[in-house]
Structure 1
């Protein structure tokens, strides 16, 4: 808008904004934007995939680069005479490289926007882009050497680049790792360390410019040696992204906009030749992706579209060429316009063609009620930190694992994707750590569950996972693990609006819970625990627990009663089930009433000789009377269980729905989780039955 294509046509605005003094400041700020942007690309780069790329990604990434590179180079060689701007031979190689590259940050951004970071195709596209980028950077380094005028200059360039890389890897990286090691787990990195790193970007950029590999390459090298996902990496990314996004990048886009002038496109032949070459490059990338891809035609095409995505890295290359006067405003405008059109077409095509296989939402749900007796009960336990470990182990022990009916736990440590670009689901022991001697949150969580499993005499097994993903798509990984392993219950921690929940605050985690509740392939339990206040030692043979279940009726209450029925067999538990019947509750669903009566009868029959299992009915006139009675009872118990929804009890839902602050807990669960009720320090389990 501010460029010469639109508002820049005004001479008054041009005199006001675009004088030489302001242009110098604009150039400086846009250069800084480029430095820190390339630095962030390096920080988020998955070094593990660079060193040990997946074979399929390596094959596709190389083919996706080589085929378009050769086609564009061939076309440029034979059509260069038709291009008005005289092009040096070395620049033809750079131009081919730029159109052959699949920009990793651009693809990561599009995958994030389309919620495809956790999809299988999205992960493959990111891995291929990393391979493609590494090959491209190697070619650029080689071009820098071969551009030298004589052998002495070439050798000098090689030695300079090698010395810079050696210094970066063997001097700077150990210093950065030392900073990470000195920072205790969970503590913030010192401000002085952050300042040193951010100033280091300027220094490495300057060195990169001096030795001829460009300032951006120097900043990128510094970013790569910072371990992705580390405390330092996360903090640096969070601080730098604010400065970059809010201050520096707008100046970069403004500077690019001043070069963009659609009225400069005057020569039709020049336009046609460049468009033909660019089109050949796009087709080459499609062929280079689809040929070696072992996927069906539709998914291969979607992967090719992903790898054709263009972004700010490509625009930055065009900008550098324009500043160096290698290309003119006409070529710059054509190049940028093509990038805009390709991205504008790719995104809606991807949205319409690729639908990730969210098959878990269409399968029959696993529930506790449907679980076969005397068979293994499988539970997916999700934790975002070690505060809820004791709550989870106590609850699982209360589920009464035995040799006839053991429990297998899939323990998921949920980590918000920050400081890296690639989503990940893996065993914690396989994730790279710069300091293996330092205990991480995952170590503490898994160690506690391993110790509990070892002390269970074979009745409890577990398998650890770490999920690193954005909260908005993390539910897909959770539900996929539950579906693939035929789990009957997903346990999620609930901390309300606690800003310590992950790195994204309570709101993002609350949205994650809502997503799981919507698409879960089995029952879901929301555990409002006591955190570090829960110091119960789970020891087989010495475990005691008092449980209260409040029954109003409906599918969720029946599922919760199935859990209570299992728990009532535990010799160390006392289970109290109170059924509330509200006079004239508005429930006219006879089928639901029959189902409620049936499960209650089964529970009473099973525990007829069990003195530790108590069942009683309370008839109340209204909701207020029921709540007063609940308030008087809760102090006697360590765990309170409720169903999430009470559709059959219309009075309960209608009277309390407007008060609810946390809809994911349901009306009754939200009330019991309030600070007014939780002051007696009991845990709360809210259950939603699989549908």
Structure 2
């Protein structure tokens, strides 16, 4: 739910607009109802704090880079100092403070405006599908460092206030001890209780209702304890959220369980509670201008605080500015901090209204700006065509292999082995392990540069990296391998693939999949086919390729069939098949499909001429014994199905193009009952249950 939209609804319901009607206010906002609404408002923010914080993996602070660490420190210091300087400047030089606002309040407003929240940035990036983008990663990592410093400063400030303002020093020491005890109980009592509940929950199942009730009780105990020891009530929710185990069914699982209750039941109460305390008629245009000068200067300081270190570390200018815009977006956390300060009488009702109104307008504008700027920046235009067909045969082929399961490593290495040249320039392989963002607070793109220590128990991720490094060591002259791991949401996982493909100037992206693709895997395929800056191959492994690690190459015979119908995808497929045929263990069969007259089935004469040129060159340059070329006349789709059913299982791999000219007679009717359109008509037919083939399928898109 968009925070700005929530605030607009609250303002409309409050005394600024509809609330001017006294009968309406007396009916809906009588004294007793206000207490009830404020109670629900506090409970709403309590749950929001807990649910958003329990998704934060505290171990990620160890992974932030030097730039993010510096950004976090500078983001903490510069807006704070610049805000105080601006408050003094407005008070002394620019006509004074807003009417009725004392100096202490105006300076306090500058301090509050300089605060930022990781949870707000995370929510915005998640909604914009920018979590695993480069600006998104930098913003999240910087905000994590900033939040750590902010909470440390906050706790230190609370402790100093207790010691300096308390007449009874023993009482101050008691409060400090009670605060430390609360943290100890949350970590060493409440966390083990939640871990016990996780062990009692079967894998893949959600939490029982009774366990969810226990978590709610722990949440209320933590918040009540916070109030008793002189801390804001939501501090207990944040502490419990950080201590909550991040593995399913907790972590993100709690958000799915509680989301409906929070956003559709409690949130309306929160909106009304905020709107009731806003009265836009209290401040004049001059007051509003003074407030906006202060707010604008603090926001400008945040952009500068991010941009300067980023530019020093050679981050592109617009990337740095975009990160500055992202950290300036405000949300429900900011509004609740304003409300807390209003409740504690640190800011007036006029100041509260100005801050909420400014936050709403600022966030609405910045979200649109961030979205448009990133869409413009993310358009990848390679300076030359990155395809296998246009890569010279003597030039090194650059392949990005993508997979999402450890079991897919062996077929990926088999395909790498078949693509490896016997002599000449080495094959460059970039292995990308795709992991879903479900147990991490931060999307990651890890470049594995260091060797795995033999003295450390390797994780599943390390085992994958080790397998590729071992293969590289056995073929040092013909293969160069770099390993990556991408942790990203399902909907934007293709962004990491496209980023690496663009940065590494790859000629081909190979995505290894199972025949039973899930819906989100099909979405990944569609996104790659639409946005990838180079050719894409979808490899459906059926286990037909042997394990090259244990069988001598001289004793192997891998039979590959390339089905050539015509068009750019088929020409790309034939170019890659030609490279595979250079492997000493490969026997390549090429089936060129013709119509009943023995001519190309394509109607586009330009494409027919391109096909004829490629076929003639292929037959001229590849007359070796391991390449067999056949021309097959096909009239209808039934004949094509019979050919594939009869010949299919004689091969280990069948290669096809994905796109073909529309309304081809020999493909007529195939697309109507196609289950996996991402593979094209032929690719889908080869893995369909109708043919009952066991051959692996490699479908290419230029």
Normalised to the residue count of structure 1, the TM-score between the two structures is: 0.83
Equivalent residues of 2:538, 2:698 under 8 A apart:
yes
**Cα pair 1:546 1:639 within 8 Å, conserved:** yes
The answer to whether the 8 A contact 1:385-1:445 is kept is no
1:521 equivalent in structure 2: 533
Query: Aligned-pair distance for 1:425?
Result: 0.4
Contact 1:181 1:438 (8 Å CA) reproduced: no
CA RMSD of aligned residues (A): 4.0
How far has the Cα of 1:231 moved from its partner?
A: 6.9
SS at match of 2:356: helix
2:472 and 2:521 map into 1 onto residues whose CA distance is: 28
Deviations 1:475-531 (A, max 9, x none): 2321222233332221113457744xxxxxx1x43333222222323221012233x
Q: Residues 641 and 207 from structure 1, CA distance in 2 versus in 1: closer, same or farther, beyond 3 angstroms?
A: same
Greater shift after overlay, 7-16 or 318-327? Answer: 7-16
Residue 36 (structure 1) aligned with residue 56 (structure 2) = no
| Contact 1:361/1:520, CA 8 A, preserved across alignment | no
- Kindly report which structure 2 residues correspond to 1:447-462, keeping only aligned pairs within 5 A, or say none: 448-450=467-469, 453=472, 459-462=478-481
Counterpart of 2:366 in 1: which secondary structure? Answer: helix
In structure 2, do the counterparts of structure 1 residues 65 and 456 end up closer, same or farther at CA, with 3 Å as the change threshold? closer
151-160 or 329-338, larger mean C-alpha shift: 151-160
User: What does 1:156-171 align with in structure 2 at a 5 Å threshold?
Assistant: 156-168=174-186
The equivalent of 1:208 in structure 2 is 226
- Correspondence for 2:612: 597
Cα separation, 1, equivalents of 2:83 and 2:624: 83
> Structure 1 stretch 339-348 or stretch 276-285: which is displaced more?
276-285
Q: Is the 8 A contact 1:583 1:622 kept in 2?
A: no
> Residues of 2 paired with 1:288 and 1:360: CA distance?
28
CA distance in 2 between counterparts of 1:52 and 1:393 reads: 29
Q: Decide whether aligned partners of structure 1 residues 394 and 56 sit closer, same or farther in structure 2, where only a CA change above 3 A counts.
A: closer
Q: Does 1:239 align with 2:257?
A: yes
- SS of 2:563 mapped into structure 1: strand
**Deviations along 1:209-260, whole A, 9 cap, x unmatched?**
2222222122212222446677743433443444433443333223223333
Match of 1:503 in 2: none
Question: Does 2:566 align with 1:553?
Answer: yes
Match of 2:58 in 1: 47
* Separation in structure 1 between the aligned mates of residue 194 and residue 544 of structure 2, nearest angstrom: 37
Equivalent residue runs for 1:73-472 within 5 Å: 73=84, 95-148=109-162, 149-150=165-166, 152=169, 153-168=171-186, 191=208, 197-226=215-244, 232-263=250-281, 265=282, 271=288, 273-294=290-311, 299-353=319-373, 357-358=377-378, 360-373=380-393, 376-399=396-419, 402=422, 404=424, 406-427=426-447, 439-440=459-460, 442-443=461-462, 445-446=464-465, 448-450=467-469, 453=472, 459-472=478-491
Q: Structure 1 328/580 Cα, relative in aligned 2: closer, same or farther at 3 Å?
A: same
Deviation at 1:537, TM superposition (A): 3.2
Q: How far did 1:589 drift? A: 4.2
CA drift of 1:340 comes to: 0.8
User: In the TM superposition, what is the alpha-carbon distance from 1:619 to its structure 2 partner?
Assistant: 1.3
Q: Secondary structure at the match of 1:425?
A: strand
Change (3 A) 1:28 1:632: farther
Superposition pairs of residues 559-570 of structure 1, within 5 angstroms: 559-570=572-583
User: Hey, what does 2:648 align to over in structure 1?
Assistant: 634
1:646: which partner in 2? 660
Give the drift of 1:178.
Answer: 8.2
- 5+ residue gaps, structure 1: 500-505
1:492 maps onto 2:511 in alignment? yes
Q: Distance in 2 between matches of 1:596 and 1:393?
A: 31
- Cα deviation per residue 1:182-209 (whole Å; 9 max; x = unaligned)? 999x755764776655543333222222
Shift of 1:641: 1.3
* 2:402 partner SS: strand
CA contact (8 A) 1:455 1:540 kept: no
SS where residue 631 of structure 2 aligns?
Answer: strand
More off after superposition, 336-345 vs 621-630: 621-630
Q: CA deviation at 1:684?
A: 1.4
Deviation at 1:470, TM superposition (A): 2.8
> Which stretches in structure 2 are left out of the alignment for 5+ residues?
1-8
Deviation at 1:348, TM superposition (A): 3.2
1:587 aligned to 2:587?
A: no
Structure 1 position 643, deviation (Å)? 0.6
Distance in 2 separating the partners of 1:84 and 1:323:
21
Q: Contact 2:659 / 2:680 at 8 angstroms: preserved in 1?
A: yes
| 1:415 counterpart SS class | strand
Alignment of 1:6-17 (within 5 A): 6-9=17-20, 14=25, 17=28
Given that 1:554 and 1:648 are in contact with CA atoms closer than 8 Å, whether structure 2 keeps it comes out as no
Aligned pairs for 1:53-64 within 5 A: 53-64=64-75
How many residue pairs get matched? 671
Which digits, 9 at most, give the CA deviation of each residue in 1:249-275, with x for residues without a partner? Answer: 333223223333434x25666555544
Residues 606, 135 of structure 1: alpha-carbon distance in 2 compared, 3 angstrom cutoff: same
CA contact (8 A) 2:60 2:442 kept: no
The equivalent residue for 1:575 is 588
For the Cα contact (< 8 Å) 2:116–2:334, is it kept in 1?
no
Q: How has the CA–CA distance of structure 1 residues 380 and 283 changed in structure 2, closer, same or farther, with 3 Å as cutoff?
A: closer
Q: Distance in 1 between matches of 2:59 and 2:450?
A: 11
Deviations along 1:55-83, one digit per CA (max 9) or x if unpaired, are 33343333333333234445667959966
Aligned partners of 2:190 and 2:218 also within 8 Å:
no
Separation of aligned partners in 1, 2:255 and 2:286 = 45
The alpha carbon displacement at 1:560 in A equals 1.3
Which stretch of the first structure deviates more once superposed, 294-303 or 478-487? 294-303
Match of 2:547 in 1: 537
SS in structure 2 of the partner of residue 675 of structure 1: coil
Change (3 A) 1:469 1:605: same
Greater CA drift, 271-280 or 620-629? 271-280
CA distance in 2, matches of 1:459, 1:178: 51
C-alpha separation between the residues in 2 aligned to 1:93 and 1:230? 44
Measured against aligned partners, the alpha-carbon deviations of 1:357-376 in whole angstroms (never above 9, x if no partner) come to 44643332333333444554
Counterpart-to-counterpart distance in 2, 1:387 and 1:682: 18
Contact kept? 1:494, 1:529, Cα under 8 Å: yes
Distance 1:595 1:42, change over 3 A: same
Distance 1:570 1:189 in 2: 50
Is 1:681 aligned with 2:694?
yes
